[in-house]
Amino acid sequence: APAHLRAHVPLTPVMTVQASVTHLHTVPAGETVSYGGLWRATRDTPVATVGIGYADGYPRNATGRAEVLVAGQRRPVLGRICMDQLMIDVTGLNVQPGDPVTLWTQRELTVTDVAAWGGTVEYEVLTGVGDRVERQMGETP
């Protein structure tokens, strides 16, 4: 490859991906969440459904490892990541339908984190963001 393609160019992250809480539900102890029952509640657990999934570019392979930011806190994604949604533990948080959930941002939770959880690279995650994800241009904080 030409020298200019081999050189490491430091990039500055500028993309934030957010989705909204669409539903809240308390999962009783012993019940499972999502396809295949991969996650089982060990206690009554408040769970939020978030309106984003692998059809929007969030890696399905991040199942069992992914975290999101909600109400300023990192929270685990529960169960299998679905086509149109994912579920998160919102224990102790005052979360309502319509509240934003950050899938990745520039600092606290990056696309590098998401790519690692999905067993892939950042470029694959970034180029996989689907047309259903609304774009807003603005200044970076």
- The distance from CA 72 to its chain's CA centroid, rounded to whole angstroms, is 14
Distance, CA of 92 to CA of 110 (rounded, Å): 24
Q: What is the pLDDT of residue 8?
A: 65
pLDDT in tens, 10-34: 667 778 899 999 999 999 999 999 9
pLDDT in tens, 57-95: 999 999 999 999 999 999 999 999 999 999 999 999 999
Examine residue 135 and state whether it is found in any structural domain, yes or no: no
Examine residue 101 and state whether it is found in any structural domain, yes or no: yes
Q: What is the pLDDT of residue 15?
A: 84
Examine residue 29 and state whether it is found in any structural domain, yes or no: yes
Q: CATH number of the domain that 83 lies in?
A: 2.40.37.10
* Those residues with Cβ within 8 angstroms of residue 131's Cβ, 6 or more apart along the chain or in another chain: none
pLDDT in tens, 97-132: 999 999 999 888 999 999 999 999 888 888 888 788
Pairing of strands 86-89, 45-50: antiparallel
Evaluated on CA atoms 34, 124, 51, 72, the torsion sign reads: positive
Q: How many domains does the chain have?
A: 1
Q: Which domain holds residue 49?
A: 13-127
Examine residue 134 and state whether it is found in any structural domain, yes or no: no
Examine residue 7 and state whether it is found in any structural domain, yes or no: no
Examine residue 62 and state whether it is found in any structural domain, yes or no: yes
pTM: 0.86
Residue with tokens 């408040």: 46
- Yes or no: say if 85 and 49 are a contact pair by the CB < 8 Å rule: yes
